[in-house]
Amino acid sequence: GDARSPQNQYPPELLRRFELYFKAPSAAKARVVRDVKADCIGKLVTVRGIVTRVTEVKPMMVVATYSCDQCGAETYQPIQSPTFMPLLMCPSRECQTNRSGGRLYLQSRGSKFIKFQELKMQEHTDQVPVGHLPRSINVAVHGENTRLAQPGDHVSITGVFLPLLKTGFRQMAQASLTGLLSETYLEAHCIVKMNKSEEDESGAGELSEEELRQITEEDFYDKLAASIAPEIYGHEDVKKALLLLLVGGVDRNPHGMKIRGNINICLMGDPGVAKSQLLSYIDRLAPRSQYTTGRGSSGVGLTAAVLRDPLTGELALEGGALVLADRGVCCIDEFDKMLEADRTAIHEVMEQQSISIAKAGVLATLNARCAILAAANPAYGRYNPKRSLEHNIQLPAALLSRFDLLWLIQDRPDRDNDLRLAQHITYVHQHSRQPPSSFQQLDMKLMRRYIATCKRKQPVVPEALADYITAAYVEMRKEAWASKDTTYTSARTLLGILRLATALARLRLVDVVEKEDVNEAMRLMEMWQCQGPPHPLPCPPPRVQRPADAIFAALRELAGGRGGGRTIPYAEAQQRCVAKGFTPAQVQDAL
């Protein structure tokens, strides 16, 4: 047959059945965003950072196909830039010979589209020089590289650094505004998820038998807990709770009802007990985490904001800190300094593990399956033992019940303990490492790999333990009611015990929860009361006020109401105490 005219020959983009991507050389070192400069244009570079924004995947036209309304010939137009000028007149030989002036119509079915997505990548906080703001860079992703990164991921992207050349009217407008300047972007060829602090890939390498044997030897639970922030002295039980927070419980979905497995912990204590340092260490240790402070966070910044997409001009959701920490940990420091309106924004996240948005015509539910680790000071700056527990905490009961563990850490003077603490701090300050201990602490990389191994386990609670857990919970409710403490023990407490017990079973790499796991979970539940105000009863049973103390308080109140007089008739004092529910014998014993 006759040869096809040059205008309607198939372009190579239509005939190509593969995608070609380049990988960086193994010896190439990843750059910081601010080190990608003008001399890198047109070169293959590798950049490390955190993904802050991801657009929807949309089709991008690569070849436009037209058909003529006069001769029916097909014409192909390869597209190399973000914008193009459509063809109007048919260039075929028949239309040119007849001078019929056939018009071209774009045929979407015959055109070729590829997947396109745009990312925004920002520098790590440790890559930002002193006094500077973190820089960001736009990344264009095509084809099979789309949907590889999510907001909050730490990634290493290899691609070609290119200027964004605009054509048509945009080029004229750009020339009048910016002159010779041009926007730049990175055309991604290879996307690799990375760990937060090391230069290795996320989840790289399984644990060998030798490493597992080294970790799971005798007292491995105490050793793993002591390996969390070893530079910080003491807080053994707090570190055990933080270890269980990193491992997490098991999610349950009975008949569509979601029961969370993530563990929420609140550290409340006096200033200077290393709460913020513990939060900072967990932020570095967790593979996926976000760190924020109370006064520096708004409700929108924690949940999600409705912004206009610069690419399409449409309203779109941009996730906040809780969305970026999905499947990870969100650390919130200075939790008590948050405004009440902002604090209520995280209620849904802490129990339902999602964020529901209905703003500006955007209706959506975002996943925020993260564990909350909060640090706060008591209401008066320091714990005031003269006031009740509720007055010291001053957080709403709806919020407190969502925390599985609430730690009250007090700074009490104790000569022996203060001496050991001072020696520990002095040693760390001199040598920049923790003092030598009886066993070898695990490094952060090995801890991260072991926690990832634990998370693959899905332990269950056997039938034999159901009655034991039920009886223990009923007893806890009874004790809480006897001590007039109805704030902290509810059905959520029972779920918290189950979460902690399954996390302990995960830590031992077993498939069934044992009685020791439940006992340890209940011990951690009750240990926060030991950290609270000093009282004569042994810990952990709750404090019960002696009748004599209550009678003395009633008599002091009566004396104050009589104009400050010191003398109270015995009959009047006895009548007042009997009216408050005490027997005459108790009044006699107290006096």
Give me the pLDDT at residue 536, please. Answer: 32
Strand order in the sheet with 371-376: 289-293, 329-333, 371-376, 265-269, 405-409
pLDDT at residue 115 in the model: 93
Half-sphere exposure of 70 (CA within 13 A, CB side): 17
Tokens of 146: 């789309």
Greatest extent of the chain over all pairs of C-alpha atoms, in Å: 126
Q: For residues 234 and 240, what is the distance between their CA atoms, to the nearest angstrom?
A: 11
Q: Answer whether 328's CB lies under 8 Å from 370's CB.
A: yes
Which residues pair with residue 49 across a beta bridge?
A: 155
Radius of gyration of the chain (CA): 33
Which stretches does DSSP call E strand in 123-246?
136-142, 154-163, 184-193
Tokens representing 424 are 């520990």
Spatial distance between the Cα atoms of 38 and 73, rounded to a whole number of angstroms: 45
Cα torsion 355, 358, 363, 365 to 10°: value is 10
Q: What is the 8-class DSSP label of residue 93?
A: H
Question: What pLDDT was estimated at residue 161?
Answer: 93
Residue 359: which H helix or E strand, with range? Answer: strand 354-359
Q: What is the per-residue pLDDT for 545?
A: 56
Question: H or E element: which one contains 215?
Answer: helix 209-215
What gap in Å lies between CA 88 and CA 105, rounded to an integer?
8
Q: Output the six-digit token pair for 190.
A: 């290879």
> What does DSSP assign to residue 183?
-
For residue 462, give both structure tokens: 């056997």
Residue 291 neighbours by CB under 8 Å, 6+ apart: 279, 280, 283, 331, 333
Question: SS in 3 state form for 115-143?
Answer: EEEEEEEECCHHHCCCCCCCCEEEEEEEH
Closest CA to 441 of 213, 210, 224, 208: 224
Q: Using CB atoms within 10 A of its CB, is residue 431 exposed (0-12), middle (13-18) or buried (19+)?
A: exposed
Check residue 327 and report its DSSP letter: T
The answer to whether 326 touches 370, Cβ cutoff 8 Å, is yes
What's the pLDDT at 178? Answer: 62
403: helix, coil or strand? coil
b/e per residue 12-49 (b: at least 16 CB within 10 A): eebeeeeeeeeebeeeeebbebeebeeebeeebbbbbb
Q: Are 373 and 265 in contact (CB under 8 A)?
A: yes
Pairing relation of β-strands 405-409 and 265-269? Answer: parallel
Residues 6+ apart with CB under 8 A from 164: 82, 182, 183, 184, 185
**Residue type for 401, please?**
S
d(CA 496, CA 522): 9
Q: Can you give the pLDDT at residue 65?
A: 92
**Predicted confidence pLDDT, tens digits, the chain (591 residues):** 345 555 557 888 888 888 889 988 887 888 899 999 889 999 999 999 988 888 888 999 999 999 988 888 888 999 987 778 888 888 888 888 877 778 899 998 989 999 999 999 998 877 888 888 889 999 999 999 999 988 878 899 999 999 887 665 666 665 666 666 778 999 999 999 886 655 555 555 567 777 777 676 777 788 888 888 877 777 888 889 999 999 998 888 777 778 888 999 998 888 888 888 888 889 888 888 888 888 777 777 888 888 887 767 777 777 788 888 888 899 998 888 888 878 778 888 888 888 888 887 788 888 888 999 998 888 877 777 777 777 777 788 888 888 888 888 877 777 777 787 788 788 888 877 777 776 677 778 888 888 888 888 899 888 888 889 888 888 888 877 776 554 567 788 888 889 999 999 998 888 999 989 899 988 888 876 555 444 333 334 444 457 777 777 777 777 765 555 567 788 888 877 777 777 788 777 777
